[in-house]
Amino acid sequence: MNYYATYIHMHESFLSHLDEGDPVAKGMPIGTTYQTNDNFPHLHFEIRAGTLFSGHACNPWKYLPCQHCSPFRANVSASVGQIESSNNCSATVVVSLPPNQLTFDAVRLEVSREGILDFNRTINLCELNIFYTNYPSYDTLRLDNNTVIPDLIINPRFFNSQSFSINEWLTVDYTFLNIPVVSEGNMAKLQATVFDVNGEKVITDPVYYDSSCLQVDPPTTTGNTNTMPTYDVTTSLNSSFRPLRPSVQLVLAVMMAVLLPLSITKLN
């Protein structure tokens, strides 16, 4: 796949020295920022995958050196609920990113029933743009309903550097519809993982739910197969040693009476 670097809102008069196909090198001036449709001069930089279509933009930190990308920080939580007017369950993964943490790349949801992985879906943001944007039109991708992307709702549906303060945390909700249903009397385990562009990840604590799509307490383990037996020291000593007979006590007393003075004399 080809990747294209785009530099948008540049001054045309400073691009006259370049023609399509000209090679450029690191550190070479290629243009000057300018204000076009906005009210301030700035550079709009993108990495686009496959085509020059704007809907194919991917996170540039996946392809460029990034000194501030590690460690990846994110607050992630998962919850389960019932879809209105149906008996189906849904799961919502809430991803909160601190300011300047722009390396977020993918969300994975896994559901296990009776110890077997039964549901596994990964939402990669770059693939999301490529496969679900209406190419070649410029229609806004509707992420806040499940008509475009089956069984998935994302809120907010789009954002950019002007939609939130640089000092605020960015929060995005991913709602997975129609996750596996649990039979009566059983439960399922749900867990979400968030990845950054370098593969670093944050994993949520497991969430358990029942046939009514209600969150329940984790299952309790039975048996003591993994615990060491404990002993009462006093009981063990009393049961292991019996009082000595009087004759044996007398012999020990005589030996102590003889050996103790000898030891003292020798030490002196």
Q: Are residues 99 and 201 in the same domain?
A: yes
Least confident of 60-69, 86-95, 153-162, 174-183: 153-162
Residue 44 and residue 89 share a domain: no
One domain for residues 95 and 11: no
- Tell me, rounded to whole angstroms, the distance of Cα 267 from its chain centroid: 71
Global confidence as pTM:
0.69
pLDDT (tens digit, 9 = 90+) per residue, 111-129? Answer: 999 889 999 999 988 887 7
The predicted structure's pLDDT at residue 30: 82
Separation CA 208–CA 182 (nearest Å): 11
Render pLDDT for 204-258 as a digit per residue (tens, 0 to 9): 999 999 999 999 999 886 544 333 333 333 333 333 334 445 554 554 454 555 5
Residues 89, 175 within the same domain: yes
Q: Do 48 and 145 lie in a common domain?
A: no
> Do 99 and 195 belong to one domain?
yes
- Amino acid type, 110: E
12 assigned to some structural domain? yes
pLDDT score of 164: 54
Same domain, 24 and 118: no
The separation between CA 14 and the C-alpha centre of its own chain, rounded to angstroms, equals 44
Computed over every residue of the chain, the mean pLDDT equals 75
For residue 203, list its beta bridge partners: 193
Asked which of 52-56, 87-91, 220-224 is least confident by mean pLDDT, the reply is 220-224
Residues 91 and 145 in one domain: yes
DSSP 63: T
User: 180, 199, 216: which is the final residue of a domain?
Assistant: 216
Based on the fold, state whether residues 148 and 193 are members of the same structural domain.
yes
Contact 123, 131 (CB under 8 A): no
Q: What angle do CA 96, 143, 129 make, to 5 degrees?
A: 90
Would you state the torsion angle of the CA atoms of residues 211, 213, 217, 220, taken in this order, to the nearest 10 degrees? 30
How many structural domains is the chain composed of? 2
**Is residue 108 very low, low, confident or very high in pLDDT (cuts 50, 70, 90)?**
very high
Q: How far apart are CA 62 and CA 59, in angstroms?
A: 6
Which domain covers residue 23, as residue numbers? 3-52
State the CB neighbour count (10 A cutoff) for residue 194: 24
Q: Considering Cα of 86, then 88, then 89, then 93, what sign does the dihedral take? A: negative
17-41 pLDDT, tens per residue?
778 888 888 888 888 888 777 677 8
Same domain, 97 and 40: no
- Co-location of 23 and 92 in the same domain: no
